[in-house]
Copies of this chain bind each other. A is one copy, B any other.
Amino acid sequence: MTDFKPKKWPKQARSRASFDAILEGAARLLRRQGYEALTTNRIAAEAGVGIATLYEFFPNKEAIVAELVARLMAKVEANMEEAFAEAVGQDPWPAVIHMTSRAVGSLAEDREVFHVLLRQVPFVPQLPVVMETRAALAALSQRVRITAAGALDLPMPEEDAWLISEMLYNAILEVAFLDVDEKKRAELTKELARLTYRMAVGRDPEAAGSVSR
């Protein structure tokens, strides 16, 4: 149906600036007015380029949004990979805290834009890059469950892992979207990690009798 890729990539520095300006303009409009107010003419005006220039690079409006999502998600994924590398070898509980914090933190940086993109734009949740991120979270939740020492078995491991990752994904978004100071967000994030641990392992990470390894 609709093509979500740019029809042409910029080759010179001048056009790269236009390309970036279009994406940044789109992000600014999304932040200020939401998706319903996003029109191609407005994006061009906000970006300071002619409407024809916009269509030089993007086949349609959706492709602009998709490229913006791709760029934002790339930052999140880079963050997550780094955090994962750091978490390897740590005990499960600190590892879960660490990963959750990174996820929340990297989304919170652009929280208004993410909020609009992930919750108000119909086709964004189905975008490959978004689905891959969710799949990565699912893998993480599997891993934690297996690694955790003395974890209680869950009756339906696959389904439970899927449920946990769905819940975690949505809660990460909710916490990241909240308009609170960073201290409060950090507290909520730690509690989110705790609840995730409780789901996966079946007991509180700081409860008596819960020894790691």
Residues in chain A within 8 A of chain B (CB atoms): 34-36, 119-120, 122, 125, 152, 154-156, 159-160, 163-164, 166-168, 170-171, 174-175, 187-188, 191-192, 194-195, 198-199, 202-204, 207
> How far apart are A102's CB and chain B's nearest CB, in angstroms?
18
Query: Of B159, B170, B207, which is within 8 A of A191 by CB?
Result: B159
Contact residues of A: prevailing secondary structure? helix
With CB as the reference atom, state the residue of chain B lying closest to A170. B170
Query: Whole-angstrom distance between the alpha carbons of A130 and B132 in the complex?
Result: 29
User: Are the C-beta atoms of B125 and A191 separated by less than 8 Å?
Assistant: no
Cβ contacts under 8 Å, A191 to chain B: 154-156, 159-160, 163
Cβ contacts under 8 Å, A194 to chain B: 154-155, 160
Among A36, A122, A163, A194, find the residue whose CB has the most chain B CB atoms closer than 10 A. A163
With CB as the reference atom, state the residue of chain B lying closest to A120. B122
Query: Of B122, B159, B166, B175, which is within 8 A of A35 by CB?
Result: B122
User: Are the C-beta atoms of B152 and A207 separated by less than 8 Å?
Assistant: yes
Query: Whole-angstrom distance between the alpha carbons of A34 and B122 in the complex?
Result: 9
Query: Whole-angstrom distance between the alpha carbons of A36 and B35 in the complex?
Result: 12
User: Are the C-beta atoms of A187 and B156 separated by less than 8 Å?
Assistant: yes
Cβ contacts under 8 Å, A188 to chain B: 159, 163
User: Are the C-beta atoms of B122 and A36 separated by less than 8 Å?
Assistant: yes
Cβ contacts under 8 Å, A171 to chain B: 163, 166-167, 170
